[in-house]
A = this chain, B = another copy of it.
Amino acid sequence: MTRRAAPDRDAVSELTTGRLSVYLRCLMYLETIGQKTVSSHELAERFHLNSAQIRKDLACFGEFGTRGVGYNVEKLKETLVRTLGLDRVRNVLIVGAGNLGMALADYRGFNSNGFNIVGMLDIDPEKVGRTSRSGVSVLPFDRLNDIVRTNAVEIGIVAVNAESAQSVHDALVAAGVVAVLNFAPVQIRLRRGVKVRSVDLRINLESLAYYLKNVEDGVGEEED
């Protein structure tokens, strides 16, 4: 708060955790192909990142780099897994079994490696009893409290329309959920002790429009 022109803390921490997630994906890939060490330069090349930024980000997590050799892939991966809190499984509950809820239930990475989707809730009796392609069941919304308690659900995903999002968020919090991922295009009123991360997918389209506009204006983008 006191450093001059510092970006807001949430944005910085989300940017950093986002980059750590990217590094983790790369390390996991390198592990599957049997690579034992990797340099910040190689990580940078592979992910179109800045190698100085990588060294800066990873410097906070102790010394894994050896000059001229690079990082130990396995050790750095394990450290990032622990840092990101992915070293134990967290139970996740999706509310809303429409197209979005179904897509999220089957989305690769939402139901593996640290996350376990216990089910999808919906108020529509026609949807209850169905299962997603990958086998996540649709359960009645009125079982929310029971399901959160029985499964020790930590993360709730709001995949309902904008009109219902706040009440679904409130119900999740009342049931004991402390972290919420909101996909509804609405600002959730925050409560102390509950972390809400809202995903605004339109921002991605606007970022592409900004690129297109710069191309039209002849500003273009410098190629690395």
Residues of A with Cβ closer than 8 Å to B?
1, 4-11, 14-15, 17-22, 24, 48-50, 52-53, 56, 83-86, 90, 92, 98-100, 102-104, 106-110, 114-115, 132, 154-155, 162, 178-181, 185, 190, 192, 195, 197, 199-216, 221-223
Residues of B within 8 A of A11 (CB): 15, 19, 49, 53
A29: nearest chain-B partner, CB-CB: B187
Contact B110 A201 (CB under 8 A): yes
Residues of B within 8 A of A85 (CB): 209-214, 216
Contact B215 A90 (CB under 8 A): no
Give the copy number: 2
Say yes or no: A197-B207 contact (C-beta < 8 A), given A103-B99, A185-B108: yes
- Bound-state Cα–Cα, A211 to B195, Å: 8
Give min CB distance, A83 to chain B, whole Å: 7
